[in-house]
Amino acid sequence: MADGDNAIPVEAWNTVLFEKFCRFRFVLTEGLSDHSDELLRRRPYARGARVLDVGCGFGDTTQVIAGQIAPEGEAVGVDCAENFVTVATREAADAGIENASFFIADVQSDDLRGPYDAAFSRFGTMFFNMPVVALRNIRGALRPGGELSMIVWRKREDNPWIHEAELCVRDIVPVVKHEESEAVHCGPGPFSMASADMVSDMLQIAGYERVRFERYDCDICIGRTMDDAVDFAMALGPAGEIIRLAGEEGTKRKDRVIRALRKTFASYQRNDGVWARSSSWFVTAHNPAS
Ligand SMILES: C[S@@+](CC[C@H](N)C(=O)[O-])C[C@H]1O[C@@H](n2cnc3c(N)ncnc32)[C@H](O)[C@@H]1O
């Protein structure tokens, strides 16, 4: 692997993380769609536009965008993981959507098949080893004046749905750093774009102008039952990564972790499931017009 390339995260997204995303899809896509529905309501795409969906995963946002821009517009989903692209392609076809297509590429380094009027991403831009290089590559695929809108997590403390689970697991399981582990990992991680100052610098260095941040908060369902919520926390997000990278040490402490997570999540239990606060940035930036 060359320094800065995404070979390890790409393998992780196509294997262990793909499997976990399939298992917890109901939490991920249902929970996350509140954020994307709000952004796509505030800033709908115009009929006829050509829009790239970056790190599209299962392609549900690509399908929503395809609906907004139909019938002449084209929604194009890109993801580094072949397994996500296969599911996204099949599901869009099954839904009878004719103006959505998908391809496999590493957004940091590959040709993104532009030009696009706009690029969109729901939580798909936080895992690049070289984010400025990736953001510049996305800009290169936008037409002059084209807009990037990305949804990224704000700071950990305002996202107790994953942060509290992480704190709880850190107390019990020894933390193994990515560089100390043989296991594949997701890349920089869900909070790598939480700092508006840092991300606005990155975007400017990548050549964007008119950078804007809007905050969005909502409760998300992290499990229909307490068991679901605990399983989810142990499998995904920073808590799940700590357990997985700790290997046997993580497995040995599983029962203690389960008890601690149940206690942590107790205050989030409602009649209709386990719900916790989440908070994102809607970041928009433009490719200069000329
Ligand atoms: C947290 S998931 C979000 C998926 C989807 N946008 C959603 O909201 O459900 C991050 C996605 O980014 C993709 N991804 C990560 N690094 C990438 C890269 N370098 N190039 C393209 N896609 C990437 C992953 O495969 C994964 O599908």
Tell me what pLDDT residue 184 has: 58
Residues 6+ apart with CB under 8 A from 264: 164, 165, 168
Tell me what pLDDT residue 26 has: 83
Tell me what pLDDT residue 237 has: 73
- In the predicted model, residues of the chain with pLDDT beneath 70 are 1-3, 178-188
Ligand 1 pocket, residue 106 CB under 6 Å: yes
Radius of gyration of the chain (CA): 19
CATH number of 7-286: 3.40.50.150
Ligand 1 atom with the shortest distance to the CA of 14:
25
Ligand 1 pocket, residue 153 CB under 6 Å: no
Tell me what pLDDT residue 247 has: 82
Query: Distance from the CA of 14 to the center of ligand 1, in angstroms?
Result: 10
> What is the reported pTM?
0.92
Ligand 1 pocket, residue 128 CB under 6 Å: yes
Ligand 1 atom with the shortest distance to the CA of 106:
20
Integer Cα distance of 171 and 156 in angstroms: 17
Ligand 1 pocket, residue 126 CB under 6 Å: no
Kindly state the helix (H) or strand (E) to which residue 152 belongs, with its residue range: strand 142-153
Q: What is the token pair recorded at 94? A: 């099954």
Integer Cα distance of 135 and 15 in angstroms: 25
Where are the domains positioned within the chain? 7-286
Tell me what pLDDT residue 3 has: 58
Ligand 1 atom with the shortest distance to the CA of 107:
20
Give yes or no for a contact between 137 and 113, defined as CB atoms under 8 angstroms apart: no
Query: Distance from the CA of 184 to the center of ligand 1, in angstroms?
Result: 15
Name which residue sits closest to atom 2 of ligand 1, judged by CA: 124
Tell me what pLDDT residue 141 has: 98
Query: Distance from the CA of 122 to the center of ligand 1, in angstroms?
Result: 8
User: What type of residue sits at position 79?
Assistant: D
Residues 6+ apart with CB under 8 A from 45: 51, 65, 68, 69, 73, 117, 118, 120
Ligand 1 pocket, residue 52 CB under 6 Å: no
